[in-house]
Structure 1
Amino acid sequence: GTSPDWKRERFTMDEGLSKTVTETFVRLYNEGLIYRGKRLVNWDPKLGTAVSDLEVVSEEEDGKLYHILYPFTDGPIGELRGLTVATTRPETLLGDVAVMVHPEDERYAHLIGKTVALPLTGRQIPIIADDYVDREFGTGCVKVTPAHDFNDYAVGQRHKLDMIVVLKLDGSVPAVAERYTSDGITLDGVAMPATVAGLDRVPARDAVVTELEQLGLLIEVKAHKMQVPRGDRTSVVIEPMLTDQWFVAMSKPGADGKSITQKALDVVASGEIKFYPENWVNTYNQWLNNIQDWCISR
């Protein structure tokens, strides 16, 4: 068996440990490895705080897949009125800034660069191409909502798309949504439809679906099994939220030329740190090789 060395026991708020934390923070900040930025985090609307990935429990639940028509801005193209997008979260379409298709999808290749009118608002958004799209899922057309989906955020960064925050920190829809560039620069806000403004996210979904149906833009609704992220302390659905937080840059080289991630990989590869059992090394390496910047302001 194993046993800790109790002579080295420490508490988070011990004076010596707190001093080390402060010194480390300042050193990393001075090296440019700690920064304050506007990025997506796991947000618990009930706790009113960002939570770590370890505090998010995803379980399969019964949901719905909504097929929504986004009409072409300049009228039908051939036999198509527009693009049909499949989504499990129709309430977030108010924050859409693009519709993406796979660059090699022959069904839509000729439409890349065209624009569609965002349902309920009429705001023009472009049709873009990105390898992230799974051609076999849904219709092969995916709405891009960088402020409310982690994958969409990454797409938005690649394509320099704006971010529109259509939910407040309490999970309700604002009268005017905040809007930012992909670099986090504040732009003029975007007015939300009066039928949705002020509603919590669940009633807002119902209101959006009802209005889509009335406009003839709700093409189909299918039963759909989906992974729903919930906070392990509140059981509330976790919301990807764009907020100002403090982050540790995990992949940026420090003063010695190596990133924090690379150092962590090296000490295990060299045998300086060992895993028991050894099969956990693969899990550790996979985690670090896919790690994002670490949110530390929780």
Structure 2
Amino acid sequence: MRIVISGASGLIGTHLSATLRGTGHQVVTLVRRKPSTPTEFQWDPAAHRLDPSALDGADAVINLSGAGIGDRPWTKHRITELFTSRLSATQTLTQAMDKLDAPPRTFISQSASGYYGDSGPAQLQETASPGSTILARLCLEWEAAAHQAPPAVRVVTPRMGIVLNRSGGALGRLLPLIRLGVGGPLGNGRQYWPWITLPDVSAAFVFLASSAIRGPVNVCAPEQADVNTLTAVVASAFHRPAIFRVPAPALRLVLGKLADELLLPSQRMEPAVLEAAGFQWQHPSLGQAAAWLAGR
């Protein structure tokens, strides 16, 4: 397949691009700088500029563009940037598709588990209602923008869980502390974090690109875990304790809105669509994922 990727320089995009190329697919990337290879096309999503020919002949377009959710405090300016970076990129892609006589067959546009807000211990399949947090509203608008693609395009909106990786990613700051034996749960630890390893994320995107699935898809592992369990299992894989809890007030003091939007909400997400379609995880259990994180 010929697959166009936006946001290919990020954690998921880099791994996904390598996975696709390694399995024989042609990968075209959208870049903001001047292209340096024939497989790069320049675009400016903030200005809604993209030559539609960049998407011509593509079997699928994968949209991973957007400012980092957790890498800066959530000031009013940053919240606006989170919205505009995602909506502008998604709209630029759908507008370019609309100008083609034969648009790509598939548009996979990333969303997030934050769609569900803070849902406590409730089981969340893809049919669950959106939450009421800022992140939930962002995901709702992000997904709606993706569905502005031409009617002939199959639209998939993967709601991403927390991506576990050996370096970087959601646990990028926590893993070094766990390795030193000074990591631990955040808040009361009873909130559920939907998780998935980076190799399984890439495999899921490849699976979605070649399937007939459309609409929202919960991209997470089938085994569910609250933060107490997740940190304990990961720490155990490194033969370390996980006893240094960071209370919610301290998180709010340091991180402000980010704590209540990203770290303290509970989303007990279930990958119902992927399971029904027969997707096979490389790391379906938390124990397997933790062993992989520890290099075993």
TM range (shorter): under 0.3
Query: So what's the TM-score if we normalise by structure 2?
Result: 0.24
Query: So what's the TM-score if we normalise by structure 1?
Result: 0.24
Higher strand content, 1 or 2: 1
Higher helix content, 1 or 2: 2
Greater radius of gyration (CA): 1
